[in-house]
């Protein structure tokens, strides 16, 4: 039995499903991923055996390939949310973990490009935490 992973963008104009298993889950700290997420790292799931299907809003999906690199980002033209893409001549499905609407059933395998980590990323686990906005 195959797994079905449902996801969408923030404005919900784009909805998709990924059928199959994720083989890897990497947290990438490279400068490209920092730029395209606006955060410390990207959190992407990878599969060479899954199938990506756009359920709605495929016309809102834009894919950007950074010239002279392997860096690819797909996003919603309406809200800018990160979305899945297909790479390596259709052999690799890459899914930003945060765009899934279902729980991610695998844990990250590794941190990548830690030599490029943001200088403010140290000891974040020591920061005060809140369930929502602070009072």
DSSP per-residue letters across 1-33? ---EEEEE-TTSS-EEEEES---EEEEE-SHHH
Residue 125 lies in a domain: no
Q: Give CA–CA dist 94/66, Å, rounded.
A: 15
pLDDT tens profile 7-16 = 999 999 999 9
Query: Where in the sequence is the domain holding 28, given as residue range(s)?
Result: 4-120
Using pLDDT thresholds of 50, 70 and 90, give the confidence band for residue 123: confident
Q: What's 88's domain CATH number? A: 2.170.150.70
**pLDDT at position 124 over 90:** no
Total residue length of the chain = 135
pLDDT of residue 34: 95
Is there a domain that residue 134 lies in? no
| pLDDT in the model for residue 135 | 84
Asked whether the predicted pLDDT for residue 1 surpasses 60, the reply is no
For the stretch 46-105, pLDDT in tens is: 999 999 999 999 999 999 999 999 899 999 999 999 999 999 888 999 999 999 999 998
What is the H or E stretch that residue 37 is in?
helix 31-37
Q: Is residue 28 in some structural domain?
A: yes
pLDDT of amino acid 55: 98
């Amino acid at each position: 039995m195959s797994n079905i992973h449902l996801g969408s963008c923030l404005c919900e104009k784009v909805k998709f499903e990924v059928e199959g298993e994720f083989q890897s889950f990497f947290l990438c700290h490279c400068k490209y991923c920092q730029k395209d997420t606006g955060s410390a790292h990207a959190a992407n799931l990878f599969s060479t055996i899954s199938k990506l299907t756009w359920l709605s809003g495929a016309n809102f999906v834009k894919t950007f390939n950074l010239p002279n690199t392997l860096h690819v980002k797909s996003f919603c033209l309406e809200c800018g949310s990160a979305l899945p893409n297909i790479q390596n001549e259709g052999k690799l499905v890459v899914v930003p973990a945060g765009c899934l609407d279902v729980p991610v059933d695998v844990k990250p395998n590794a941190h990548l490009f830690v030599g490029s980590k943001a200088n403010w990323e140290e000891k974040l686990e020591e920061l005060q935490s809140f369930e929502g906005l602070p009072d």
